[in-house]
Amino acid sequence: MLYLWLKAFHIVSVVCWFAGLFYLPRLFVYHAQSEDAVSRERFCLMERKLYRFIMGPAMIAALIFGIWLISLNPSAYFGQGGWMHAKLTLVVILIGYHHMCGAQVKRFARGENNRSHVFYRWFNEVPVLLLLAIVILVVVRPF
């Protein structure tokens, strides 16, 4: 029963984390397009709160519940092919993307953004591709 509760909380944490990973770069798009000080200040506040109070805790919770799940039965995850190794590699990349978003939040707050809204539109696609690959690895377990 513990396993199912952990799995449920892991999934909820991942959903919350990805919600932030999808929305924050979209805020960057709008922030990069903003021209007045009031809008820029509002975007800075929204970005900081989303990153610090939703994305950060959700990422930590997803990692804790994921590690806890693995620790309950490591052979179930690592004894059946390399899909889990590939998934964890993508999770590490996702954590790096998360921290890149945090660095960008700080750049916007300092008024140092030098990228266009077009860059952020492409940047926003990275977590979509990672989510697609991770879900396929977990559900299909192709190797």
The yes-or-no verdict on residue 55 having pLDDT over 90 is yes
Domain edges within the chain: 1-142
Please report which confidence band the pLDDT of residue 76 belongs to, taking 50, 70 and 90 as the band edges: confident
pTM of the entire structure?
Answer: 0.94
The yes-or-no verdict on residue 21 having pLDDT over 90 is yes
Task: Tell me what the mean pLDDT of segment 60-84 comes to.
Answer: 94
Task: Tell me what the mean pLDDT of segment 47-57 comes to.
Answer: 98
Check whether 7 is labelled as a binding-site residue: no
Q: Which amino acid does the sequence have at 105?
A: V
Check whether 87 is labelled as a binding-site residue: yes
Q: What is the rounded distance in angstroms from the CA atom of residue 143 to the CA atom of residue 122?
A: 30
Give the pLDDT of residue 80: 82
Give the pLDDT of residue 137: 97
- Both tokens of residue 57? 């805790």
Give the pLDDT of residue 16: 98
Q: Tell me the CA distances in angstroms from 90 to 53, 65, 95, 132, one per residue in order.
A: 23, 17, 9, 11
